[in-house]
């Protein structure tokens, strides 16, 4: 299966194909560079690094690899500097291509390094988690976390290709699979009621990591993301709807410490909160909220905020959200199943009551 992110002369393919990681013919179509650096982590490297090397290796090519520590806690300036150090110490030129082999953390950091090393080099996304396959690898958002906010330092940098091998998900822990399903569910909630219905019927197969169901979910999610990115590459309007639940979720991640809750887990709970607030405003029916709550729970995701969270802690972190404009907090909310808006036009009381309810009535 193949999709294209239509961005004029910066368009690029998304290939969804079992075994593509080690397929030399696939690699030859998207990487002609003589200098290649594979950036991965210490969890993925033992599983898939040699396969990717086999696909990329050819006479006359300088092929190097850098293995970083795994986890959201390492998505920071110190780890980014390790990438720069490696590139400089090996005298790599502006003609190098970086290959991001890993989940969203590796993809975001490698992409940001590619955006900034010698003012920009090419990179390829090779996502190995469901979350990165359906979301973060597509669209060119790159960056690192700051102690005061998630993904607050970064750049838009489109890859030259996205290579997705669904078979790598065989080694994905169940918790990571559920985290990825949060982003899959998001596409149904914000723009495709039919897809949401398919997810309701298919969730048992998805939770069982059924190959056909997973491939279908990846394809439909990437197709949705590609359409949105093509229409709004730098998130001036439509693309912001992809952040359903993220403003609440990022607050959980920051307060709990990056990596304590997986990104998808925090987004799952954040989507429950966004749906709750949408219902409170009278924008969606009770049954839409209930269906969302049930499906998120069936995906193995938390639907309640951690006990540590308070309305004040939410507001502190949400005040730093990238969607804040002129001091006004904007949220992604639903006006129906498959219909989302980005708005600051909501009653403040609805947000206050949503936070209070989510935090167990804590004022």
Residue 14 DSSP code: E
Q: Render the burial of 115-134: b for 16+ CB within 10 Å, e for the rest.
A: bbbeeebbbbbbbbbbbbbb
Three-state DSSP class for 164? strand
Catalytic residue among 176, 183, 216, 253: 183
CA 176, 267, 3, 141: dihedral to nearest 10 degrees?
A: -100
Select from 225, 123, 158, 223 the least CA-distant residue to 9: 158
User: What domains can you pick out in the chain, each with its CATH number?
Assistant: 2-171 (3.40.50.1970), 174-358 (1.20.1090.10)
Phi then psi dihedrals of residue 209, to 5 deg = 60, 40
Catalytic residue among 239, 280, 317, 323: 239
pLDDT, residue 361, reads 66
Residue 250 annotated in active site: yes
Q: Which two tokens stand for residue 198?
A: 């398919």
Residue 246 annotated in active site: yes
Phi then psi dihedrals of residue 67, to 5 deg = -110, 120
Select from 176, 105, 117, 179 the least CA-distant residue to 142: 105
Residue 74 annotated in active site: no
pLDDT, residue 147, reads 85
The residue with tokens 């030859």 is 28
Catalytic residue among 53, 141, 157, 279: 141
Residue 10 annotated in active site: no
Cα-to-chain-centroid distance, residue 64: 26
Where is 232: in which H helix or E strand?
none
Where is 4: in which H helix or E strand?
strand 2-5
Where is 274: in which H helix or E strand?
helix 263-280
pLDDT, residue 362, reads 56
pLDDT, residue 257, reads 87
pLDDT, residue 112, reads 97
Cα–Cα separations (whole angstroms), residue 2 to 137, 162, 210, 338:
15, 10, 20, 25
- For the question of whether the overall pTM of this predicted structure is more than 0.95, the answer is no
Interhelix angle for 263-280 vs 286-298, to 10°? 170
Radius of gyration of the chain (CA): 20
Catalytic residue among 35, 216, 235, 265: 235
Per-residue pLDDT of the chain (363 residues; tens, 9 = 90+): 899 999 998 999 999 999 999 899 999 888 889 999 999 999 999 999 999 999 999 999 999 999 999 988 899 999 999 999 999 999 999 999 999 999 999 999 999 999 999 999 999 999 999 999 999 899 889 999 888 877 889 999 999 999 999 999 999 999 999 999 999 999 999 999 999 999 999 999 999 999 999 999 999 999 999 999 999 998 888 988 999 999 999 999 989 988 899 999 999 999 999 999 999 999 999 999 999 999 999 999 999 999 989 999 999 998 877 777 667 889 999 999 999 999 988 988 999 999 999 998 654
Ranges of beta strands (E only) in 103-140 are 122-127
16 near 100, Cβ under 8 Å? no
**Cβ–Cβ contacts within 10 Å for residue 95, how many?**
12
Catalytic residue among 74, 75, 186, 263: 263
End-to-end CA, the chain: 50
Residue 141 annotated in active site: yes
Three-state DSSP class for 36? strand
d(CA 307, CA 304): 9
Catalytic residue among 150, 246, 317, 330: 246
Q: Which two tokens stand for residue 63?
A: 């092929």
pLDDT, residue 80, reads 95
């Amino acid at each position: 299966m193949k999709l294209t992110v239509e961005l004029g002369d910066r368009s690029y393919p998304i290939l969804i194909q079992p075994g593509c990681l080690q397929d030399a013919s696939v690699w030859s179509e998207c990487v002609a560079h003589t200098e290649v650096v594979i950036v991965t982590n210490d969890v993925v490297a033992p599983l898939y690094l040699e396969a990717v090397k086999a696909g990329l290796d050819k006479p006359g090519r300088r092929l190097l690899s850098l293995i970083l520590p795994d986890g959201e806690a390492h998505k920071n300036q110190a780890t980014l500097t390790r990438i720069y150090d490696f590139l400089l110490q090996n005298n790599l030129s502006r003609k190098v291509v970086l290959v991001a082999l890993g989940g969203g953390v590796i993809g975001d950091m490698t992409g940001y390094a590619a955006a900034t090393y010698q003012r920009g080099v090419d990179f390829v996304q090779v996502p190995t988690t469901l979350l990165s396959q359906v979301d973060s690898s597509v669209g060119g958002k790159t960056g690192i976390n700051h102690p005061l906010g998630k993904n607050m330092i970064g750049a838009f940098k489109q890859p030259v290709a996205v290579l997705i091998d669904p078979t790598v998900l065989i080694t994905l822990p169940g918790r990571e699979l559920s985290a990825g399903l949060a982003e899959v569910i998001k596409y149904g909630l914000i723009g495709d009621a039919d897809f949401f219905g398919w997810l309701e019927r298919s969730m048992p197969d998805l939770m069982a990591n059924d190959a056909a169901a997973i491939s279908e979910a990846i394809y439909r999610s990437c197709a949705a993301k590609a359409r949105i990115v093509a229409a709004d590459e730098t998130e001036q309007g439509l693309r912001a709807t992809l952040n359903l639940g993220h403003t609440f979720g990022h607050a959980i991640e920051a307060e709990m410490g990056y990596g304590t809750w997986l990104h998808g887990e925090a987004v799952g709970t954040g989507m429950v909160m966004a749906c709750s607030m949408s219902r409170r405003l009278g924008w969606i029916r009770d049954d839409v909220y209930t269906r969302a709550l049930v499906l998120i729970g069936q995906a193995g995701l938390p639907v309640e905020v951690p006990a540590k969270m308070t309305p004040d802690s939410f507001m502190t972190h949400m005040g730093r959200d990238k969607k804040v404009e002129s001091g006004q907090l904007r949220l992604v909310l639903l006006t129906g199943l498959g219909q989302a808006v980005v708005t600051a036009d909501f009653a403040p009381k609805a947000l206050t009551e949503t936070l209070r309810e989510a935090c167990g009535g804590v004022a």
